[in-house]
Amino acid sequence: GKEETTGLITYMRTDSVQISKEARQECAGFIREKFGAEYVPQKAPQYKSKKGAQEAHEAIRPTDVREEPLLLKAHLTTEQFRLYSLIWHRFVASQCKNADIATTSVKIEAGKYEFHAKGIEIRFPGFLSVLKSREGKKEELPPLTKGEVLKLIKISSEQHWTKPPPRYTEGTLVKLLEEKGIGRPSTYAPTINTIQK
């Protein structure tokens, strides 16, 4: 835009999970303003590094958390916007308070038949408020009590077939390389590029 060229993220070839104190404080202030004080954890979240992680750099994060993805969309290519949006949302979510979710499993008896329903109840959305536009929505069940008589609205049957393992994506291949201790984060992109060529 009218401003000069700006770096939007920190060093991207790192697997560190360390965040500077200043960045955590800035993000906590942003979360407090955008979502409310109840979304800021009392103690800053701490994450464990993977074995053999190179921690010379800070974790990949936005250089300025106030640069929300939609504010920058007009200045980025589609690919850049999607990547920046992913980094921004994950970083902000990682600094939010945990979500409080109750999973519900219901057994419904109807004569000689038995039906099952599973769902969730979100008691406090926490970090999910940041990811809501990025994640798929799970089925929420209404509050139920034991012995309650239910009215049938619909029945959906599901049949599951055994599937072969899915093909590798870039993400699953990187995960496998990490698990097997092959290479380092800086070598993953050239390795994948070679495979694709």
3-class DSSP assignment, residue 102: strand
Output the six-digit token pair for 86. 């992913």
Q: Report the candidate in 84, 66, 64, 49 with the shortest Cα–Cα distance to residue 185.
A: 49
Q: Report d(CA 99, CA 131) in Å as an integer.
A: 11
Integer Cα distance of 140 and 102 in angstroms: 10
CB 60 within 8 A of CB 13: no
CB 14: neighbour CB atoms within 10 A?
19
Residues 6+ apart with CB under 8 A from 188: 174, 177
Catalytic status, residue 11: yes
Given the residues 11, 47, 168, 188, select the one marked as catalytic: 11
For CA atoms 73, 87, 10, 62, the dihedral sign is positive
Residue 46 tokens read as: 């701490």
- The helix (run of H) or strand (run of E) holding residue 113 is strand 113-124
Catalytic residues, by residue number, are: 11
